[in-house]
Structure 1
Amino acid sequence: MTITQLQYVLAVAEHQNFTKAALKVFVTQPTLSMQIQKLEDELGVKIFDRTKKPIQLTETGRKIVNQARNIVNESDRIQDIVDQEKGFIGGTFRLGIIPTIMPTLLPMFLTNFIKKYPKVKLKIEELNTEAIIERLNEGHLDAAIAATPLELDGIKEQVLYYEPFVAYIPEGHRLAAEKNLNVEDLDIDDMLLLEDGHCFKDGIINLCKASRNYDGDHFQLESGSFETLIKLANEGLGMTLLPYLHTMDLGEKENKKLKMFEEPVPAREVSLIYTKSELKMQIIEALRTTIAGVVKGAIAFQNVKIISPLNKRKNVTN
């Protein structure tokens, strides 16, 4: 049994196709098939059911794949140890970022990071939280940036910053004359929300649960982007909430419609997350310090209340 054979098994398990798996690991399809067959013969079991389309894991195969993933990760740790000992910060690094963070945060740190760490080849994917967790656990991502806390076994979280919720309230709205808002002012029936799958929506719903006006059943309208929500609000269809960094790109006309909450300001916690195997920690730390450096000057709120996507809240004083 070799590490290479286990890598081939993981590739087939992921793609459910020998040809696609061979392309992934840069070998010919006959070579990959031969090595997997050799491993199955050695173990005396079938890992894959080749009679099904697409190819499926056998029951024993599922257990082997889980263990193979652990073994391959641990073998990667050897090179990781050497890199850390040498102080080397480089190689391919796969980073996932949720959609409500990607457009605002990535431009803030990417150029700085590339200039400071030119030997790191970043591969960045925009994914929702569910897909990020799945890809982290399967070893297809090295780290991700997401709203936390997630409180998942096997996942570590390093807080990067706390991002306040900001209300966008159009002219003529019942709250347009208010200087600052309280959570009790919110009415979920009057709220324009992101569509399902966005953890920012979950945070807003959790925030509104603290309001006496929440009934949990009726939503007026949902959309896939903050830009659309702003346009709909301008048409008088309701108000919406935005992440603070998103408001920094708005024009003067839109800025006049923004309202902050009274302290403690409701906010989301944004963290760098990764598996407890802690591979490539030198790159993870480089990312953390780079992001912390650029965000520190942009978000200077001292007293916030974290609104969790898990429906748990906590106060934080920076």
Structure 2
Amino acid sequence: MAYFAELSASGLEPVRFEGSGDLDCLCIAKGGIEGWWSTPAAKVNVTARGQGDGGHDVSEDDISYASRTVTLHWNANASSRDALLALTDSVRRLVHRQVRMRVVDGTEDTCCSGGYMVLTQQPDYRSGSIADSTITIVFERPERLSSLAHSGEARASVVQAGGLSYGAANGGLAYPLQYGVASDGATVMRLPNQGTSRAYPTYTLCGEWPDGCTLRLACDGRNSTIAYLRAIHTGTPVLLDTRSRTATMGGVDVTSGLSQRGWMTIPAGKSLTVNLATAGSGWVSCSSHDTYI
């Protein structure tokens, strides 16, 4: 059964901590990985009842969690002191960086991103090994996400030529004739969430949309709409982020261009259907991860 942890940052090779004690490697120590499978502390404001026992009921919408703190207990073994120092230096390169942590435990493969790291190392000198030490990483986003995303595209129906129209120049019939009938070329994207907590999908609006476009969302018997009504051109897609409830284009916030903001998360064990409701030649790239808390 596979069991290992990886730490990485942009532009660096992942650093792996093996779950079994091999030679010339960083290893997960006896203390394991604290805070990975546990939930972070709850953030719930409770109001005590003035009369009677207990407090007032807390709605599900008011139950949230603090940032996730993970402590990786580690050690290292190598055939020489130089090889041992090379292993520890690979970890130290992650300081001052946003760290991504991935843990593979059997069939479960999850990760957290955007953390910052603090490393402790036992000071006793051993030629070929380092005694059990710790790496602590704080992730402001507490969700653990599946390393592989559910992703795909929803495409719009295409307007076909056909029918009658009058020519502007002479007031007569103009050819080819135009009806402006939409074809049946639209496709729908389904995003599942096989995790245990709500998932936050993202949508990238691509292609040519002179007047913007509209997404129809459906999940668990509910329907909503997200509409972006500004021009979108090829090469400058618009990213819609459900978690932050923002729209960005080339890193610039364009949330003000949203006329309808029907953001929907994906409950655990459910699926979200995405339909691009505006006819045209563009498409929306959809992505979501199985999510755990």
Decide: shared fold, TM above 0.5: no
The higher radius of gyration belongs to 2
Which is richer in strand?
2
Higher helix fraction: Structure 1 or Structure 2?
1
